[in-house]
Amino acid sequence: DIETEYKELDGNLWHIKYPVKGTDEFVVVATTRPETMLGDTGVAVNPEDKRHSRLIGKTVILPLMNREIPVFADSYVDMEFGSGFVKVTPAHDPNDFDMGKRHNLEEVIIMNENAVINENGGEYKGLDRYEARKRVVADLEKLGLLEKVEKHVHSVGHCYRCNTVIEPYLSKQWFVKIKPLADEAIKVVEDGKVRFVPGNWAKTYFEWMYNIRDWCISRQLWWGHRIPAFYCDECGELSVTMDDPDKCPKCGSKNIRQDEDVLDTWFSSALWPFSTMGWPDSTPELKKYYPTSVLVTGFDIIFFWVARMIMTGVKFMDDIPFKDVYIHALVRDEHGQKMSKSKGNVIDPLIMIESYGTDAFRFTLAAFAAQ
């Protein structure tokens, strides 16, 4: 979620009836993404919800797919939301994924990487997610299983780069086990070895670090540093190495291939204070310039960059990368949006300098700080 921007959108809440097996009863679930029901593998209810406790352990029939799925109890369920029943799609929702792990539910992936329904979506295979949504809703209505539709404002994740609505999707990725690194990075700030200026930004740093989760470092992009993992198609060996191997270290086969994913751009940025000075060799530049004294940066990348430079510096150099972190303000446009190249709302600083002078421009930017 750290590369996700959430926006409030007007949408719908569809209330769908799931038949209880062997009875004339239905459970009603509410969802903002009805197309994901194709991958449901359970229905959850809060164990304290006395209205529905008698149905815990029963089985319902998943509409359109005719698949039997269990009704189970989990305290995650909000009794006040909808009817109190929650559809569970472990492969397409992070909270559902966690519930699925707790209750050993099957993970049915119903979309490919382009958000198109795959073979697990039955007759909806090949449809874009939004077209599938229309078809699913229409078919439920024909079957008399669509109880009602309500207008609903909800928070929807968007890609922070291209503004596309993100579709949660279960896939294999590379992760860094980050907590051991974070523990050391927390300590150097607590001990005053690294100081934030103004000091209140240390609180932002600690909020991120105390609640840190493993770092997903793989990206499916065209450009970037390739992940140095190699697969042998003969024996299945996986090797991770700084070298560029020409054969499998286990069986000797030359039929090897490198992982197609690239590293998160912040991964290489995290190594910047020492990787640019010749590391892992002990160069004169590295000895002279590491650690440095001051890092000047914006508050929006305290976690993305500052924290990760501290973590990798302490890990690989056994020393902090800088002593002071000076946090400056962000220049915003007339709408309060951060000025960004991608948004096209920037002002050329050279033009400002020509109009007002270098010192006046510098002082103005420094004076924008809130403290």
For residue 109, pLDDT over 90 is answered with yes
3-state secondary structure of 156: strand
The pLDDT score that the predictor gives to residue 143 is 98
Q: Strand pairing of 146-159 and 195-197?
A: unpaired
**207-243 pLDDT, tens per residue?**
999 999 999 999 998 899 999 999 999 999 999 998 8
Cβ contact 90:106 at 8 Å: yes
pLDDT band (50, 70, 90) for residue 370: low
Residue 131, φ and ψ in degrees, nearest 5: -70, -40
Q: Kindly state the percentage of the chain with pLDDT values over 70.
A: 99
Q: How far apart, in Å, are the Cα atoms of 80 and each of 10, 30, 49, 147, 300? A: 21, 12, 10, 18, 35
CA distance 363 to 371: 14
Token pair of 22, please? 């062997």
CA distance 161 to 8: 18
Q: Strand pairing of 215-216 and 175-176?
A: antiparallel
- The DSSP code for 175 is E
For residue 286, pLDDT over 80 is answered with yes
For residue 2, pLDDT over 80 is answered with no
For residue 348, pLDDT over 80 is answered with yes
The pLDDT score that the predictor gives to residue 338 is 84
Q: What is the mean pLDDT of residues 6-15?
A: 93
The pLDDT score that the predictor gives to residue 82 is 87
The pLDDT score that the predictor gives to residue 246 is 93
The pLDDT score that the predictor gives to residue 257 is 97
- Indicate the average pLDDT of the chain: 94
Using a 10 angstrom Cβ sphere, with 0-12 exposed, 13-18 middle and 19 or more buried, the burial of residue 204 is: middle
pLDDT band (50, 70, 90) for residue 369: low
**0.75 surpassed by pTM:** yes
pLDDT band (50, 70, 90) for residue 343: confident
The pLDDT score that the predictor gives to residue 371 is 57
Q: Check residues 159 and 72 and name the one with the higher pLDDT.
A: 72
**25-47 pLDDT, tens per residue?**
999 999 999 999 999 999 999 99
**54-67 pLDDT, tens per residue?**
999 999 999 999 99
Across 119-133, 174-188, 224-238, 356-370, least confident range: 356-370
Range of 80-84, 146-150, 161-165 with top mean pLDDT: 146-150
Q: Check residues 329 and 225 and name the one with the higher pLDDT.
A: 225
**All domains of the chain in start order, with CATH:** 12-154 (3.90.740.10), 175-226+261-328 (no CATH), 333-371 (no CATH)
Straight-line distance from the first to the last Cα atom of the chain, in angstroms, rounded to the nearest whole number: 29
